[in-house]
Homo-oligomer: A and B are copies of this chain.
Amino acid sequence: MQAPRHDASDGDGKELFGRRAERAGAVPLWTFFKEWFPGEPRSEAVGHLWRYDQLRPLLLEAADVISADAAERRVLALENPGLPGRRTVTEALYAGLQLIVPGEIAPSHRHTAAALRFIIEGRGAYTAVSGERAYMEPGDFIVTPSWTWHEHGHEGDGPTVWLDVLDVPLVRFLGTGFSEHHPQKRYPESRPPGDSRRRYGSNMAPAGYRRDPHAASPVFSYGYAAARETLVGLAANGPLDPCDGIKLEYIDPTSGGPAIPTISTFLQWLPAGFATKPYATTAGTVCVAVEGHGRVTIGTGDRARSFDFGPRDIWAVPSWQPVQLVAQTDAVVFSASDEAAQRKLGLWRERRDS
């Protein structure tokens, strides 16, 4: 065989070739090579902020539109404006605000998608995981790991709202989604509240305990009061990271890994007046202001978008867009991203301009 004689630079010829390829179930790579192999990631998602004050009335109204029982989960999913019709907050994560009202039960089910609940408002509701309840206070962080039975209930006397974040877009993309309803609305109570945290979350673990390396964290509830005190203490000890202030990751203390195998979760403290240096990561991230007021800038140049934020506001940061935070008051920010999944796959990258 000889080297090719010439390039068929004739556009019509190439197009014709493309159509013949298509009929054979194939597509010339050169027609989309540049799109698929860019110099750096270009997510279609955009930086966006949802004001809690605007969503709250709609969410409360949802209680009249549908029951928790009929909805299975009464949630308003936050859809990234750059991903219309996708129903996701970033490429790989879903986020939504879930409402439960006193007396309701969101019935027991399980799914391979992992979920976290970050409590926005209300007291007296709970999530039960495999029959152990974690009661909710604002700022608490609760995990319902992959394929664990869980239900939500409410024994208090006002609406309770939390932010759900799930890896379900990733699970769906991979074709790995299973789910199941429990035959009973409530999974039988198995252990008293707080048992798992005591047993595994006190820098101790049961003698002889050996962890399945792929299992989820046996600690599934992380209280806000203790986490906040930790942040404040470390802020006093210093120093502050130029990009992060004081930023801690929730971990599984029986492995040191992330609290959720696929989702990294963080709590961050910024003292009043602190302005972070730009920080970019390939992980798509959803954030919620727990306390304080400030301003967040997402992206650079033409794509830069800035938003003022106050307590309970939620924002999304797409992959590889630099973020800067300015804290007008002391501020606490919770965030969740697919960093954990990306790290396991060897794909995570970060850039610090500090």
Residues of A within 8 A of B (CB): 1-8, 13-14, 17, 20-22, 24-30, 32-33, 36-41, 43, 45, 48, 50, 54-55, 58, 61-67, 70-79, 81, 87, 90-92, 96-97, 101-104, 109, 111-113, 146, 157-159, 168, 170-180, 191-192, 194-195, 197-199, 201-209, 211, 214-216, 219, 222, 226-227, 230, 233-234, 237, 244, 247-256, 261-262, 266-268, 282, 284, 318-320, 338, 341-350
Query: Do residues B345 and A262 form an inter-chain contact, with CB atoms below 8 A?
Result: yes
- What residues of chain B lie closer than 8 Å to A254, measured between beta carbons? 251, 256
Minimum C-beta distance from A224 to chain B (A): 12
Closest to A211 in B: B256
- Pick the residue among B36, B249, B341 that contacts A177 (CB under 8 A): B36
Specify the chain B residue showing the minimal Cβ separation from A4.
B63
A203/B251 contact (C-beta < 8 A), A3-B102, A284-B175, A341-B345 known: yes
Instruction: Kindly list chain B residues whose C-beta atoms are within 8 Å of the C-beta of A2.
Output: 101-102
**Given A146-B347, A168-B36, also A253-B250 (CB < 8 A):** no
Residue pair B50, A25 in contact (C-beta under 8 Å): yes
- Expressed in whole angstroms, the Cα–Cα distance for A289 and B292 within the complex equals 49
Q: A5-B64, A29-B76, A191-B237 are in contact. List 14 more A-B contacts (CB 8 A).
A: A3-B102, A4-B101, A17-B65, A22-B79, A26-B97, A28-B71, A174-B319, A176-B319, A194-B233, A198-B237, A204-B248, A214-B343, A253-B256, A344-B345
A257 nearest in chain B by CB position? B256
**A60 — nearest CB in chain B belongs to which residue?**
B1
Contact of A175 among B41, B76, B104 (CB under 8 A): B41
Is the beta-carbon distance between B346 and A29 smaller than 8 angstroms? no
How far, in Å, is A176 (CB) from chain B's closest CB?
A: 4
Residues B30 and A177 in contact, CB atoms below 8 Å apart: no
- Each complex incorporates copies of this chain amounting to 4
Residues of B near A104 (CB, < 8 A) are 3-4
Given contacts A29-B96, A262-B346, contact A177 B38 (CB under 8 A): yes
Q: A26-B77, A62-B28, A65-B7 are in contact. Are A251 and B205 (CB under 8 A)?
A: yes
Which residue of chain B lies nearest to A321 when distances are taken between CB atoms in the complex?
B175
Contact B175 A282 (CB under 8 A): yes
Supposing A33-B72, A256-B254 touch, asked if A266 and B4 sit within 8 A by C-beta, the answer is no
| Residue numbers in B under 8 Å from A266 (CB-CB) | 207
Name the residue of chain B whose CB is nearest to the CB of A246. B206
